Amino acid sequence: MTFHEVRARSVLNKVPGGSPVPFGWTVNPYRGCSHACTYCLAGETEILMANGRRKALSDVMVGDEIYGTRREGRHRRYVRTKVLAHWSTVKHAYRVTLEDGTELVAGGDHRFLTDRGWKHVTGTTRPSLLPGSRIVGTGRFAPGPEHARAYRAGYLCGMVQGDGSPAPEASARSNEFLAGFASLSEVAKLPEEPEPLWQKGFLGGLFDARGSSSRDVLRIASSDRGVVAALSTALGRFGFRHTVEERDRPTGPRGVRLIGGLAERIRFLHTVDPAISAKRSLAGTMIRAASRVGVVSVRPLGIRLPLFDITTGTGDFIADGMVSHNCFARNTHTYLDFDAGRDFDTQVVVKVNAPEVLRSQLARPSWRRDHVAMGTNTDPYQRAEGRYRLMPRIITALADFGTPLSVLTKGTVLARDLPLLERASADVPVGLAVSIALLDPELQRRLEPGTPSPRARLDLVRKARAAGLPCSVLVAPVLPGLTDSADALDALFAELSDAGATSVSVIPLHLRPGAREWFAAWLAREHPGLVPTYRRVYGKGSYASAGYRARLAERVAVLLRRNGLSSRADYDPREDKAVPEQRHAEPGERVEQLRLL
């Protein structure tokens, strides 16, 4: 994550005229949000690079070329792509064991491509891996050979026996290897009883000299029967199935062709490590239906581990042979000339002088001490606030100039400033609101990754009430078909009542441009069966249909009464642009109104 520390010219922002929100001014000390990150795989997980070799995920760098996949009609093919972002964190890890012995250590929210679509590592209410699930991929990568003396001798012998015109990469390697021997004749002959490492070098050298690799076929040709016999013996020693093809003409070379498709091609390249990059290319290779590896088990490790992830141009990458998904953020942040994916999470702009600029703006004679809302765009109590501590001075400035203020947050860092907010409330109206959309921790991690848990936020409401401050709860966004059931809302309202929230706002999901495209992609991946429902509810607009809002209002009103909460089901934000009156609730008082947007 990168923090861009800037000096702002202005931090007090006027809300555009005609906006339905019940406040006129905002302050946003941050742009971008450190709450929105998700992380994937263990650092030692090997990634398939664009040169056909492997690199540990922790060592991959932005700008590296690797392989991802692209769907073409009914098939996927390997394509080259670039690493656009790379990041890490520490979180609970799981071990996914596959039938071929592959073991992948990943976070529970990571996804792999299966024969039934993308599935998370774990989860009860989301598509997830189970024993028997079949992940798309070739299985674990083969270990590469050590370039010891035996391998070098075998490689040089393969180059000599291949009698080809080597490419510059093969020539450079041959010259380097030859420096360890007295002469070329020392390594030119085929040994009677070659050792395994020599045979790996021999296969690598012969492939560089006489081999070819197309989209589906890997072949090595030779006119010498002895070389063909040595080649066949070496392949058999490492378990490579192959066939010796007949000559096209009496004087032409024989061809030894590898059998087994993409998986065996990759295993061959990693086992023998040829030098020529062009011959290692896998671009355009089709991932056939046979490229599936079954899941044996998914088990929690019971510990937190450093986990890493990358963003690529294709949205996926090859992790130890298996097709693995990127973790993308919301499609916003483009107004700062950042990209619409990971930049929102990883490029956070910090207005380091925000308190001082705000104080100078509030001191102007034209300032009318209107209500200022914070948390309306990006969370002022995201994790970065624990480092920069901008909010205490912002709160003090507003209170010193007699300006009413309110804060909306998902972040429990707010608890740090409760004593300060309590003191400020003696001089100006202070309102707090905590966003709690749902109770299900699994669904919350998928929708709001990186944010405090629902239980932690409920505890924040309790702490705010214990400090004598009014604290409302924003139940938003309510997601049709996911969080709007009577059971889900009833359980949530019961918890809010017990926590002592002083008001509640229930807001269906808004699908504005930018967020709309991101959410549509998320829904299609996670809950494809709900796509038709969302098309009916939202059509081409940003807001849920009037019919849906009416049905939700009716359901919510009943549930609020059941939990000792009152409602205002006729609330319309377009008719109420005034700042709501803030007041302290008496002990034991429950929610006094419902705002249904």
Residue 43 pLDDT grade (very low, low, confident, very high; cuts 50, 70, 90): confident
The CA distance from 406 to 373, in Å, is 5
Tokens of 7: 């000096």
Residue 230 pLDDT grade (very low, low, confident, very high; cuts 50, 70, 90): very high
Percent of the chain with pLDDT over 70: 85
What average pLDDT does the segment 527-536 reach?
93
- pLDDT value at residue 343: 54
Angle of helix 225-237 versus helix 196-210 axis, rounded to 10: 130
What average pLDDT does the segment 503-528 reach?
79
- pLDDT value at residue 155: 96
pLDDT above 70 for 275: yes
Residue for token pair 């949000």: 33
154 vs 513, which has greater pLDDT?
Answer: 154
pLDDT above 50 for 337: no
- pLDDT value at residue 521: 74
- pLDDT value at residue 24: 84
pLDDT digits (tens, 9 = 90+) for 101-148: 999 999 888 889 999 988 989 987 678 999 999 999 998 999 999 999
Q: What share of the chain is helix, strand, coil (3-state, %, to 5)?
A: 30, 25, 40
Side chain identity, residue 397: A
How many other C-beta atoms lie within 10 A of the C-beta of residue 106? 27
263-265-269 Cα angle (round to 5) = 120
- Torsion over CA of 313, 316, 317 and 319, rounded to 10 degrees? 160
The CA distance from 20 to 572, in Å, is 9
- pLDDT value at residue 165: 67
Most confidently modeled range among 66-75, 121-130, 248-257, 460-469: 460-469
What average pLDDT does the segment 258-264 reach?
91
Over the chain, what is the mean pLDDT?
Answer: 84
HEC string for 51-74:
CCCEEEHHHCCCCCEEEEEEEECC
What average pLDDT does the segment 46-65 reach?
92
Residue 426, φ and ψ in degrees, nearest 5: -75, -20
- pLDDT value at residue 90: 67
Length of the chain: 597
pLDDT above 80 for 330: no
The CA distance from 467 to 486, in Å, is 32
Q: Residue 475: beta bridge partners?
A: 506
What average pLDDT does the segment 336-356 reach?
69
Q: Which domains does the chain have, with CATH numbers?
A: 17-25+364-596 (3.80.30.30), 41-137+291-325 (2.170.16.10), 149-282 (3.10.28.10)
Does residue 334 contact residue 514 with C-beta atoms inside 8 Å?
yes
The CA distance from 130 to 297, in Å, is 7
123 vs 592, which has greater pLDDT?
Answer: 123
- pLDDT value at residue 220: 94
pLDDT digits (tens, 9 = 90+) for 8-22: 899 998 876 655 566
Percent of the chain with pLDDT over 90: 55
pLDDT digits (tens, 9 = 90+) for 534-585: 999 999 888 899 999 999 999 998 998 888 765 433 333 223 222 232 222 2
In the DSSP assignment, the letter for residue 137 is: B
447 vs 370, which has greater pLDDT?
Answer: 370
pLDDT above 50 for 268: yes
Most confidently modeled range among 39-53, 272-286, 515-529, 568-582: 272-286
Residue 86 pLDDT grade (very low, low, confident, very high; cuts 50, 70, 90): confident
pLDDT digits (tens, 9 = 90+) for 410-464: 889 999 999 999 999 999 999 999 999 999 988 888 777 778 899 999 999 999 9
Does residue 459 contact residue 491 with C-beta atoms inside 8 Å?
no
Cα radius of gyration rounded to whole Å, the chain: 31
Angle of helix 168-178 versus helix 149-162 axis, rounded to 10: 130
Residue 254 pLDDT grade (very low, low, confident, very high; cuts 50, 70, 90): confident
